[in-house]
Amino acid sequence: MVAIVASYSVFPSKETPKGHLWLSDNDHVWRSGHTPTIYVYKAKHSDDTIQRLRNSLPEILVHYYPLAGRLTLRETGRMEVDCNAKGVTLLQAETTKSLADYGDFSPSDSVRELVPKIDYTQPIEEIPLLLVQSTRFHDGEGFVIGVAFCHPLADGLAGTRFINSWAKLARGETLEPHELPYLDRTILKLQHSSTSPCFDHPELKPLPLKLGSSDINAEQSKKTSGVLLKLTPEQVQKLKKEANEEALEEGVRAYSRFEAIAGHVWRCACKARELDEKQPTVVRFNGDVRSRLVPPLPRNYFGNALAETVSPECYVGEIVSKPLSYGAQKIREATKKLRNEYIRSQMEIVLGEEQLDGIRGFFSGQGERNSFPFAGNPNLHITSWMSMPMYEADFGWGKPVFFGLAYVCAHDRAVILLGPHGDGSIIVSMHFQEAHLELFKKFFYQSL
């Protein structure tokens, strides 16, 4: 059990710009609420721990001042940030559990307690955009920093860079000019045209249903659980080697570790579900587009810069029976689509009246609604966080020994992360229907 010992409202240490910050279409189409993540440290927790966080947080909020504001809703259904410097929340907490009691910190209800809980039935305009909780383990063998970060403000990469910059200030260092956030989102202001998009955009259309089913409600209601599946550097290389066993055409680059791991996860999911071999299936991805746009976004763009893509539809029987290179190739075809013209075309059409209605519902207490089609059984949602430098979050007591999601996704999803040791190991944070999870784990390691 986790008990809150103290709660602090933290404000920028200097006067910051006031007014309303325009949010891009891209900021509107992902989850409306907060994304909960945890950083686990093995250092001894002391009074200095919370004091160091309290002293450095006001400093970083000067640079990231929109985070100290509040979301507000316009009549059009679009959100803005009221940069009113109302502050963020910092909680000091203790748990009756030891570090060992949490095991490997797989996403679960007990791990979720390590991140601030948010009541979305209260007025959204009053909810802080950032809430942080420092929780000390009962045995004194370490602590967790749990972060609830409002997704309309920033995606995972931007959020990670914020945490790392905060940690740098906490260590007594100063930020270099290239580390300061680029806050102006009008760089993503699009000229909406009345003509039809140049691309088909299958990622915005309903995904395949289970054979014999006419709607997704039955699958959406099934319970999912989270598990962390670890791959050693040798196992990662084994998957890469397997994916590249088939001779590639001259000039075609070898399949990457992401393509190999994602293909392996897809194949294991198809096997574990024991679906008909003629069952259509796809994989959905979302990717960072900062460097894919022309011209590219500033490296430290603080906001959402994501695009959605989906693999070509194929049959379960093909994914299960063909070499790993088959699934890896389908994944490559999906990610190759994310080029400047395709991304801009998607950004122009993704925010429609249905999404704006969902945002209005969120502000009136009806909960979150996702803009993209449900990606559970017989399909899969895969996200790569391998480029996110989450293990640089050293506040002065050493780097985290673990970083991960603190909640279980409601649909089948794999989040692929680097291991904490910098040795090439990988962690797959797998969220899967409980009925098929044990079989999935069996197939995941069977050939490794």
pLDDT tens figures, 28-63? 999 999 999 999 999 887 778 999 999 999 999 999
Range scoring the smallest mean pLDDT among 124-133, 204-213, 390-399:
204-213
Share of the chain above pLDDT 90, in %: 87
The single residue of 82, 184, 276, 394 carrying the catalytic annotation is 394
Contact 316, 279 (CB under 8 A): yes
Catalytic residue at 151? yes
Residue 299 is predicted with a pLDDT of 93
Select the highest-mean-pLDDT range: 46-50, 242-246, 270-274.
270-274
Please say if the pLDDT value at position 192 is more than 70: no
Q: What is the pLDDT of residue 367?
A: 79
* Secondary-structure breakdown of the chain: helix, strand, coil percentages, each rounded to the nearest 5: 35, 20, 45
One-character DSSP codes across 323-365? -HHHHHHHHHHHHHT-SHHHHHHHHHHSS-HHHHHHHHHHHTT
- What pLDDT is attached to residue 193? 61
Catalytic residue among 45, 151, 431, 436: 151
Q: Does residue 72 surpass a pLDDT of 90?
A: yes
Report the range of poorest mean pLDDT among 9-18, 40-49, 414-423: 40-49
Q: Which residues contact 281 (CB under 8 A, 6 or more apart)?
A: 208, 266, 270, 275, 313, 314, 315, 316, 319, 378, 379, 380
Angle at 207 between CA 386 and CA 438, to 5 degrees: 60
Per residue in 373-408, pLDDT (tens digit) is 788 999 999 999 999 999 999 999 999 999 999 999
Residue 370 has pLDDT above 70, yes or no: no
For this structure, is 423 an active site residue?
no
pLDDT beyond 70 at 340: yes
pLDDT of residue 135: 97
User: pLDDT digits over 278-325, tens only?
Assistant: 999 999 999 999 999 999 999 999 999 999 999 999 999 999 999 999
- Average pLDDT of the residues in 342-356: 91
CA 317, CA 271: separation in Å to the nearest integer? Answer: 9
Confidence (pTM):
0.96
